Structure 1
Amino acid sequence: MRVSLGDREAFSLLYDATSSKLFGVCLRVLNNRAEAEDALQDVFVKVWNKADRYKAGGYSPMTWLITLARNTAIDRLRARKTGNVDIDDVHDLSDGSPTPEAEAIASSERKRLNDCFEELESDKSEAVRRAYLDGDSYKDLAARYDVPLNTMRTWLRRSLMTLKDCLSR
């Protein structure tokens, strides 16, 4: 739960508690220490980015993590087996940059998000940006705004709910 809120300390504790087990899963699938280390890093990047999507559904968090590690290692194994593709067989060599349409959509979404941030009080808007864009901890934010830690958590939670409501309109 705390990892899904961007709590770095909780993430560090999760890493310490699970990394050796997850490394073993990756190593068993890949049978290559360097690739297993890379896969483990990918797993924890996914955990950091997707922790809010975890739903128990009868499974323990460790089961979710092991499944994530196993699938990541299998994906790397499959990528290893596909080999190289001859350049003459490739028809589309796009540069990967966004299309004009994608840029227009992204610009519109940025404007919507900024408009929603304007609906928040300035200190709460800044606190949300610092927490979720700059990575400031709740403790640092509470000290910065001279409020109790639980008050800061409430500010951020309510602000996120306001942003969600605004964006869903």
Structure 2
Amino acid sequence: MTDDTKQRQDNPLLQHAMASLVANVAKGDREAFAQLFSHYAPRLKGFMMRKGVDADVAEELVQETMLAVWNKARLYSPGKGSVTTWIYTIARNLRIDRLRRQSAEIFYDIDDYDEASDEPSSEEELIRHEQETQVADAIETLPKDQLDVISLAYVDDLSQAEIAERLEVPLGTVKSRMRLAYQKLREALGNRA
């Protein structure tokens, strides 16, 4: 991600303007929707094409994404992430749904093969960074006993029985702490799409 791209995407004024547009779309404002569409449609098409989607399908997915934005605008919550993250998550989910619905694998002629770059796009970097920050912030809100259980399970890759043994607590206590931790993380992270 170039410094210029990062500055544009991290610009609080741009983020605020986009959040205001989504709020207006939630009220049925077609002009606000047109502004969102003109800003995001070309970026979404490029995102889809970098993910290996052909141009026609990319156009369809952009239309489906923006239709979902129109229909779900009232569900957007600025506290859960930027408008960009929200819209790209919708687009990503629609692309995955499309791939799952395809009945036959598409084969390409080897002459048409153009190896995609391993470098993530600036949009993908922004989404990944925001998601990592949200998860880290949510984890920091966990009480120490729940954080210890989650850490042992995912960092040290221990089973619940091994965690109970290491912490010298009953297995039921480990299960309870894990359940409470998952519940708090779900509440903190909410539904991203």
TM-score normalised according to structure 2 size = 0.40
The two structures have a TM-score, normalised by structure 1, of: 0.46
